[in-house]
Chains A and B, each alone.
Chain A
Amino acid sequence: MSTIPQEVLDIAEGIRSMRIRGAGKIARSAAEALRIAAEKYQGEREPSVFRRYMAKVADTLIETRPTAVSLPNAVMYVMQAVFRQTSDFDELRRGVVDAANRFIEDSLNAVKRIAEFGSKRIRENSVILTHCHSTAAVSVITEAYKQGRVVKVYSTETRPFYQGRITTRQLLENGVPVVQIPDSAVRYIMHEVDQVVIGADTITSNGAVVNKVGTSQVALAAHEARVRVFVAAETYKFSPMTVIGELVPIEFRDPTEVVPREWLEKHKNVRVLNPSFDVTPPEYVDAIITEVGVIPPQAAIMVLTERLGWAIDKIKQAGLTKLRFEDLVED
């Protein structure tokens, strides 16, 4: 069998070592790696042999970051083309390259389209609240501001890491008037707010939004005040694993992100718990804005079956943890 090109291995290593970071970049790099692998394939011009080779590349890529959602999504999107029924090798290879290119292009355009769709949902003279930092959310807000509909933005600090300061900085660079508030002031400020715009780390099959801790109480306070909540998320953030009931793991990070080490050592009866994410139930989300359109959160399952239906079938058969593309190849 043909060996995996060095360029592809370099990308895999880049993802593993976190030189390549961010959900979008990881996904595009993985698709690119698959494209390169297909283009540089030197082996037998026989679909089943080619499939076996591509499956090996796919497995290598997926193993680099087992918990990220965007990575398997990108790989599955491209692999769908690899497993298409055809006996024509050239056609098969062309299909794979096209799928990879389409994924990369869609992903690059996604934020632009999300900004375009999302900005339409912002009404005149809006005061917007956002939590943490999301490129998609910042783009929606900036686009709506350019269209003259945003008066002010409240951005939460987002402890422990203060990603809200990044949001504030970016919005200021885009000329958008923004005021930072502590996370505790979300309900206090909510009566001034017209709309909440946030990003997402993962969207589950039932439309729940997994995002930076605090998001769910922002949404709760918005819901109480009848303020609309919009989630800006590319479709590669939708998790096919959740279709088979898998829970999205919530990472607990180091306590020293919250208090200094000396403080911890002095207080032996105190444990600092530092969850990264929380889960916002779909009933607190008015719409999810994706690059394929605005959907109610309950339609997340449709995005998943439309975009990743093939992958979901395979996951149903094998379970994601055991899913190896090599096992899917039939001779």
Chain B
Amino acid sequence: MSELSKHGFAPRATGSELLMDLLNESLKVAGGRDCRGLVRFLKEKYLLYARERPGSAGLFNTIRSILNYIRENGCTGVREFVEGFRDRYDKALWAASEVMAKRVVDGDVVMTNSNSVAVRRLFEILVRNKVKFSVYVLESRPGMEGLVLADYLDKLGVETYLVVDSAARFFMKNVDKVVSGAEAVAVNGAIVSKVGTSLMALAASEARVRFFAIAPTLKISLETIYGELVKLPEGDWRLLMDEETRRAMPEKYTARAPLYDVTPPNMVDGIATELGLYPPQSIPILVKTIYGTYPPQLKPLDTLFAELLGGG
């Protein structure tokens, strides 16, 4: 696929894939009785994610959960805790996709972008349930993960249309529902997802096509309750072309390639979670259901690390 790398084809791991990797690696590190090793490992990961995936709320929530467990219970049973956590997340992801699947009926035309695990599972469930549907997939630059999703749909045997990102509005009038995954859900119901999602949602909203996001509750960014903005990382021309193409461009050529954007709650018709389909404005209710209080008591990750590693 060297032809494609010319166009900057370089799919990134999805939020859920990274989360599973984090949990699996944590299990390996937590192998012995050395709990401090696990905390140090998590701190390393935390610093890395803060740089590279600052918008991926699920990763930070996972780290916080493991640290809270260690803070309250010490090292005993941390392995089991992480294992349980992993299984619960996997189930939650399936359950969220199941909820979304109920909203897709025979004959529906769905539009989506990027390559979210939750959206892939939605399609798998629909095929299993013998629902007849077709899918418009946006190419999803930078990265072009849409090609990976189209490949997945091809193998599932789903009638699929691959189009450039610019054609979302052109085809919107053929579409019944738009679905996306989520990197994070802000407390006001805004969805952080692959860049272009908000443009697709806007085109859907204009055409009165419903827009849904699939997001297990682990993706709710608790920090946003206290006013934190979800940070959105950006890349440069390297995400849009290969070195050879760059050399053919003028020396002064510069590019900004944002990776995520924010879809405001007024364009979101529903968020499919493992607890059901929620309107975006009801995220505080979800948070209270899960954490017992609203706002939840939240220790910053830096503080937690300092406590557990003794200032280091």
In the complex the two chains form, what is the Cα distance from A267 to B160 in whole Å? Answer: 10
| Chain B binding surface SS class | mixed
Q: Is B226 an interface residue (CB 8 A)?
A: no
Contact segment of B14-22, B47-55, B245-253, B295-303: B245-253
Residues in B whose Cβ lies below 8 Å from that of A181: 255-258
Neighbouring B residues of A160 by C-beta, 8 Å: 164
B203-258 residues with Cβ-Cβ distance < 8 A to A are 203, 206, 232, 237, 240, 249-250, 252-258
Given the complex, which residues of B lie within 8 Å of A263, measured CB to CB? 1, 4, 147
Per-residue CB contact flags for chain B residues 88-122 toward chain A (1 = under 8 Å, else 0) read: 00000000000000000000000001000000000
Q: Are A184 and B162 in contact (CB under 8 A)?
A: no
Residues of B within 8 A of A275 (CB): 167, 170
The segment from A95-103, A109-117, A214-222 found at the interface with B is A214-222
Contact B151 A267 (CB under 8 A): yes
Residues 137 to 157 of chain B near chain A (Cβ within 8 Å): 138-142, 147, 150-151, 153-154, 157
Alpha-carbon gap, A186 to B198, bound state (A)? 9
Which residue of chain B lies nearest to A165 when distances are taken between CB atoms in the complex? B249
Interface size class of B (residues with CB under 8 A): 35 or more
Chain B residues whose CB sits within 8 angstroms of the CB of A178 once the complex forms: 254
Does A1 have its Cβ within 8 Å of any Cβ on chain B?
A: no
Is there an interface contact between B257 and A182, defined as CB atoms closer than 8 Å? yes
Residue in A closest to B8 when the chains form the complex, CB atoms: A182
Contact with A along B3-17 (1 / 0, CB 8 A): 110000000000000
Contact between B164 and A182 (Cβ–Cβ < 8 Å)? no
The chain A residue with its CB closest to the CB of B249 is A165
Asked if B308 lies at the interface with its beta carbon under 8 angstroms from chain A, I say: no
Chain A positions 65 through 105: 1 when the CB is less than 8 Å from some CB of chain B, otherwise 0 = 00000000000000000000000000000000000000000
Chain A residues with Cβ below 8 Å from B40 are: none
Contact (Cβ within 8 A) A184 B196: yes
- Residues from chain A with a CB closer than 8 A to the CB of B131 are none
Say yes or no: B170 contacts A213, CB within 8 Å.
Answer: yes
Complex CA gap A160/B164 in Å reads 7
List chain B residues, Cβ under 8 A from A169. 249-250, 253
Hey, what's the 0/1 contact readout for A214-250 against B, CB within 8 Å counting as 1?
Answer: 1011001100100000000000000000000000000
A271–B154 Cα distance when bound, in Å, is 10
Contacts A216-B170, A220-B202: A269 and B154 contacting too (C-beta < 8 A)?
yes
Q: Is A183 in contact with B257, judged by CB distance below 8 angstroms? A: no
Chain A residues positioned under 8 Å from B158 (CB to CB): 269
A180 adjacent to chain B (CB < 8 Å): yes
- Complex Cα–Cα for A165 and B240 (A): 11
User: How many angstroms between the C-alpha atoms of A271 and B237 in the bound complex?
Assistant: 28
Which of B140, B154, B194, B256 has the most chain A CB atoms inside 10 A of its CB? B256
The answer to whether A185 touches B196 (Cβ under 8 A) is yes
The answer, yes or no, to whether A126 is at the interface (CB within 8 Å) is no
- In the complex, the answer to whether A182 meets B142 with C-beta atoms within 8 Å is yes
Q: How far is the CA of A228 from the CA of B203 in the complex (A)?
A: 18
Bound Cα distance from A270 to B194, whole angstroms: 22
For the complex, give the distance between the alpha carbons of A319 and B34 in Å: 84
Asked if A299 lies at the interface with its beta carbon under 8 angstroms from chain B, I say no
Inter-subunit contact B169/A217 (CB<8 Å): yes
Residues of A with C-beta under 8 A to B161: 270-273
A159-B141, A274-B164 are known contacts. Are A267 and B150 too (CB-CB below 8 A)? yes
- Measured CA separation A180–B239 after assembly (Å): 12
Q: Known interface pairs A169-B249, A188-B261, A216-B169. Does A180 touch B254 (Cβ–Cβ under 8 Å)? A: yes
In the complex formed, the residue of B with least CB distance to A168 is: B253
CB distance from A132 to the nearest CB of B (A): 9
Contact of B141 among A183, A216, A217 (CB under 8 A): A183
Q: Contacts A220-B206, A267-B154, A278-B169 known; A273 to B255 CB distance under 8 Å?
A: no
The answer to whether A221 touches B256 (Cβ under 8 A) is no
How far apart are the CA atoms of A271 and B167 in the complex, in Å?
14
A19 at the interface (CB under 8 A from B): no
A-facing mask of B271-309, CB < 8 A → 1, else 0? 000000000000000000000000000000000000000
Given A188-B258, A259-B4: A271 in contact with B162 (beta carbons within 8 A): yes
Contacts of A187 on B, CB cut-off 8 Å? 198-199, 202, 261
Given contacts A269-B153, A270-B150, contact A213 B257 (CB under 8 A): no
Q: With A184-B199, A270-B150 as given contacts, are A214 and B162 in contact (CB-CB < 8 Å)?
A: no
A271: B residues at CB distance < 8 A: 160-162
Give 14 A-B contacts (CB < 8 Å), ordered by A residue: A156-B166, A159-B141, A159-B164, A169-B253, A180-B254, A182-B165, A183-B196, A184-B113, A189-B256, A213-B167, A259-B162, A269-B158, A270-B151, A271-B162
4 further A-B pairs in the complex, CB-CB below 8 A; given A217-B199, A258-B163: A158-B166, A169-B250, A184-B194, A213-B167
